[in-house]
Amino acid sequence: MRLLILGGTGFIGPHMVEYALSRGHTVTMFNRGRSNTHLFPDVEKLVGDRNGDVSALEGREWDVVLDNNATLPSWVRRTAQLLKDSAAHYIHVSTISVYAGASFAVKPERTVAPGSPEEEARRIHEDSELMVLPDGQEGEEVTGATYGPFKVLAEEEARRAFPGRAAIVRPGLIVGPGDPTDRFTYWPVRVDRGGEVLAPGDGLDSVQIIDARDLTGWIVRLAVEGVSGTYNATGPEARLSLAEMVYGIRAVTSSSVQLQLGGHGLPSGARGPTLVQPAGMDPRRSYGIRANCTGSRPGARFPVFGGDDPRHARVARGPPGGRASRPPGRPGAGPGGGTAEGVARWPLAPELPSPNRRSGSRGQPLGLRPTP
Q: Which pLDDT tens digit goes with each residue over 5-39? A: 999 999 999 999 999 999 999 999 999 999 999 99
pLDDT (mean) for 358-370: 27
pTM: 0.76
DSSP 3-state of 279:
coil
Confidence category of residue 268, pLDDT binned at 50, 70, 90 = very low
Report the b/e string of 155-178 with b at 16+ CB within 10 A.
bbbbbebbeebbbbbbbbbbbbbb
**Residue-wise pLDDT tens digits, 48-64:** 999 989 999 999 999 99
- Higher pLDDT: 135 or 38? It is 38
CB 300 within 8 A of CB 222: no
What percent of the chain stands above pLDDT 90? Answer: 38
Q: Which of 200, 240, 225, 191 is nearest to 366 (CA)?
A: 240
Phi first, then psi, for residue 202 (nearest 5°) are: -105, 10
pLDDT reading at 73 higher than 50: yes
Categorize the per-residue pLDDT at 363 as very low, low, confident or very high, splitting at 50, 70 and 90: very low
pLDDT of residue 243: 83
Residue 182 CA, chain-centre distance (Å), reads 13
Best-predicted range by mean pLDDT among 152-161, 284-293, 328-337? 152-161
| 265 or 46, greater pLDDT | 46
For the ranges 174-178, 182-186, 193-197, 278-282, the lowest mean pLDDT is seen at 278-282
Using alpha carbons, select from 36, 46, 42, 45 the residue that is nearest to residue 9: 36
pLDDT at 234: 84
Distances (CA, A) of 109 to 43, 272, 280, 287: 51, 20, 6, 15
Report the percentage of the chain scoring pLDDT > 70: 67
Q: Is the model's pLDDT at 282 over the cut of 50?
A: no
Task: Give whichever of 90-94, 186-190, 302-306, 317-321 has the largest mean pLDDT.
Answer: 90-94
Domains of the chain with bracketed CATH: 2-368 (3.40.50.720)
Is 50 exceeded by the pLDDT of residue 248? yes
d(CA 352, CA 190): 16
**Phi, psi at residue 209, to the nearest 5°?**
-145, 165
Distance between CA atoms of 35 and 8, rounded to whole angstroms? 10
* Backbone CA torsion sign across 249, 255, 260, 263: negative
Indicate the pLDDT class of residue 102, thresholds 50, 70 and 90: low
For residues 83-92, average pLDDT: 98
